[in-house]
Structure 1
Amino acid sequence: MGTTQLETAPEPKYWHLRTVLSEALDSEFAVGEILPNERELAARFGVARATLRQALEQLELEGRLQRRRGVGTTVAPPRVGVAVDPARHTWPGAPGDDWQPQDATATETVPAAVARILETAPGDRVHIVRRSRVTGGQPVAAELLYVPSVLVPGSTAVASLSAPARARAVLNALQERELDGQDRTVELGSARAEDARQLDRLPGAPVLVVTTRYVSAGRPAAVAVATYRADTCRLTFGESDAVAVLAG
């Protein structure tokens, strides 16, 4: 592998390097191949390692690269289309929903942003259902679903069930209600430690955060905060995957 020096460019050096690296990924590396270490890459392109890291982080954000624990930086496969359209997702846990319930706990402490969306008061108990989503045998998303305890009959009895049974009990309680509608937002974020473990990512890795508010009887009935891998997923809406939200 020869040495390539970057020419002076009006754009930031890391961005120019990102373009050069992207071309190298297309011509010299196969999907899943491990890149040389940072010292070798920095020497090849004649840049500081800090500049190289910026370029690698940008390519990871765009889904071209993956950082894997104990492996290193590898060339990423094409993103997988993951549908988040309302036609597939009515109430969480309804037929056709491909999320897997894991556990549910009741707490009086929820993130302030979630409390505002749910319109709960301080001290109100809320069930938090943990769910995961797998596509092609790989974890692509982790979700926290927040449901006010007042909407779950027999909340005390729910606590005595096994972890998956607790989650299903809360989901079943939601499905007993009439769904007025739902709305969602998509934002780029960073993986929290818990999400990183579930998604086999490094903490701080780029993720797509989809927040969905479910409305029943004219009031918010649940809030789902789903964290998707930005390096492997493109989120699709509607009946086809023609429209995609891409990180980067």
Structure 2
Amino acid sequence: MGTTQLETVPEPKYWHLKTVLSQALDSDFSVGEVLPNERDLAARFGVARATLRQALEQLELEGRLQRRRGVGTTVAPPRVDVSTAQYAWPGTSGDTWQPVDCTSAVAPVAVGRMLGTDPRDELHTVRRIRTTHGQPVAAELLYVPAASVPQLPAAEAPSGPARARIVLRELQRLGLEGQDRAVELGSARADDARELDRLPGAPVLVVTTRYFAAGRTAAVSVATYRADTCRLTFGDSGDLEITHPAPA
């Protein structure tokens, strides 16, 4: 990184410094590389540490930097696309998610309503993770009723990734008739934060997808993306629905 004269720049010092740092991240650093400490960076750019800290915080908000516990401030990987145009069963060719586990559990009330299942029914719950450059960027829970995978009881598989893959394979036997997807901004719950290496309450994007087959909702996916690592993209159909809560 080089130095720059900030005193003659009319915009706020930290904002101009953010621009300079952003350019340096593209040219001088690689993904995952740890930045020098704040004292060294502040001396190199001739700014107060408070100014530097403001610039770093802004870059973190924009997803250019990540603060990793026990590591320091690192260069973030490129943003992950959250596309509204994807049309395929989970686990099909090209899917970048990795299965982690599969358990039987009662679905959350909202998911049970979408599936039309009895609130007491246990569903196959597939847990998957999505990573980029070795870092977790999204976690997913896929809820699959027993009626959607009727041949599963005959399949012998332990719990864990092996059973998750079998559930996904059996689900793909159904003809996918359609799907819809909703995206909303949320806050990371304790479980999400632990899986995504974030603090509880950190901003996340929650993507809920319903998969339709045989005239009903065959599965529901709830995927939680780190808001600082993802980018929402739109398909040609423009099939993203934006809703607003009703006034109280």
Same topology, TM > 0.5: yes
Do 2:209 and 2:221's aligned partners in 1 also have CA atoms closer than 8 Å?
yes
Q: Tell me which amino acid in the other structure corresponds to 2:89.
A: W
Question: Cα 1:190–1:67, aligned 2, differ >3 Å: closer, same or farther?
Answer: farther
Cα deviation, 1:117-153, whole Å, max 9, x if unaligned, reads: 2222210221110112233444332211011122222
- In structure 2, how many angstroms separate the alpha carbons of the residues matched to 1:230 and 1:105? 27
Q: 2:216 aligns with which of 192, 214, 219?
A: 219
Residues in 2 aligned to 1:150 and 1:56: alpha-carbon distance in whole angstroms = 50
Q: Secondary structure at the match of 2:199?
A: coil
What is the TM-score with the length of structure 2 in the denominator? 0.70
Give runs of aligned pairs for residues 61-210 of structure 1, distance below 5 A. 61-77=61-77, 79-82=78-81, 84-87=83-86, 89-108=87-106, 110-154=107-151, 156=153, 161-210=158-207
1:44 to 48, 61, 66: 48
Looking at structure 2, the residues matched to 218 and 34 of structure 1 have their Cα atoms a distance apart, in angstroms, of: 53
Q: State the shift of 1:69 in Å.
A: 0.9
Contact 2:22 2:59 in 1 (8 A): no
* Corresponding residue number in structure 2 for 1:26: 22
Q: Which residue type is aligned with residue 26 of structure 1?
A: S
TM superposition shift of 1:56? 6.3
Closer/same/farther in 2, CA of residues 187 and 57 from structure 1, 3 Å limit: farther
Q: Distance in 2 between matches of 1:28 and 1:138?
A: 22
Q: How many percent identity over aligned positions?
A: 58
Q: Distance in 2 between matches of 1:176 and 1:129?
A: 17
1:222 deviates by 0.8
Q: Which amino acid aligns with 1:182?
A: Q
Task: Assess, with a 3 A threshold, how the Cα gap between structure 1 residues 46 and 193 changes in structure 2: closer, same or farther.
Answer: closer
Q: Which SS does the other structure have where 1:201 is aligned?
A: coil
Whole-Å separation in 2 of the counterparts to 1:18 and 1:181: 48
Which residue identity lines up with residue 118 of structure 1 in the other structure?
L
If the length of structure 1 is used for normalisation, what is the TM-score?
A: 0.70
Flag the 1:75–1:122 CA change in 2: closer, same or farther, 3 A. same
CA RMSD of aligned residues (A): 3.8
Q: Deviations over 1:28-57 (max 9, x none)?
A: 77644537569x98x93769xxxx78x866
- Per-residue deviation, 1:200: 3.2
1:93–1:171 contact (8 Å) kept in structure 2: yes
Given that residues 34 and 71 in structure 2 are in contact (C-alpha distance below 8 angstroms), is that contact kept between their aligned partners in structure 1? no
